[in-house]
Amino acid sequence: MSQRKISMAVIRRLPRYYKYLGELLNNGVTKISSQDLSDTMQVTASQIRQDLNNFGGFGQQGYGYNVEYLYNEIGKILGQDQLHNMILIGAGNLGQALANYTSFGRQGFHLIGIFDINPKLVGLKMRGIEVLDIDNLEQFIKENSVDIAILATPKAGAKDMAQNLSDWGVKGLWNFTPEDLFINGDMEIENVHLFHSLMTLAYQIHND
């Protein structure tokens, strides 16, 4: 399938499509109209058609969408047909919660290394992985194929860390520090802010 550049707004909606389609597939549903998909997902049918048209639609007039095909194609777009090696930098409260989240592994995101600067954490095992001193990071990345680094350290030093990771060849950074990071180089960065979601919820509470 040839792919043109898709807007990030569309890409950000795809994981939801993927999840719902996976559930339909598990329930034995083989085809679905954009209207039924819309009713299930609470997204307008026209939005669904517009989004899926970005990839050639995957649907047939009067037939609807083939659930398995659509699920697999969206999965490929989202890299779900590949395995990703991940490392975690910062094994504090958030880092440990992320390391203990087993679903990432089931979705093909494999944690292969954990790093921290705190000597009390170095040497401990989290999900069977020994926490290494941060001084080992460059060597580890050179010896292992690291696709994604999770950054869960305090924000001081985060930008320098991100630049190093990019220079050492890491392809993507899942940045949880409060600072939005932008660096020179090819590494893609996804800045994650749970607080933004919380503020959106607060807005909804006060504007229903």
Judged by the rule CB under 6 A, the positions of this chain that interact with ligand NAI are 89-95, 115-118, 121, 134, 152-155, 157, 176-178, 192-195
Rounded least distance, CB 18 to ligand NAI, Å: 22
Rounded least distance, CB 61 to ligand NAI, Å: 43
Rounded least distance, CB 22 to ligand NAI, Å: 25
198: burial class by Cβ within 10 Å (0-12, 13-18, 19+)? Answer: exposed
The number of beta carbons lying within 10 Å of the beta carbon of residue 40 is 14
Structure tokens at 94: 């958030």
Judged by beta carbon, residue 92 or residue 105, the one nearer ligand NAI is 92
Residue with tokens 């899942």: 174
Judged by beta carbon, residue 16 or residue 193, the one nearer ligand NAI is 193
Gap between the Cα atoms of 54 and 138, Å rounded: 39
CA atoms within 13 A on the CB side of 34: 17
Rounded least distance, CB 8 to ligand NAI, Å: 18
Gap between the Cα atoms of 165 and 99, Å rounded: 19
Rounded least distance, CB 170 to ligand NAI, Å: 14
The CB-nearest residue to ligand NAI is: 92
Judged by beta carbon, residue 50 or residue 144, the one nearer ligand NAI is 144
Q: Read off the amino acid at residue 76.
A: K
Judged by beta carbon, residue 88 or residue 187, the one nearer ligand NAI is 88
Structure tokens at 88: 């975690």
Judged by beta carbon, residue 15 or residue 154, the one nearer ligand NAI is 154
Q: Read off the amino acid at residue 129.
A: I
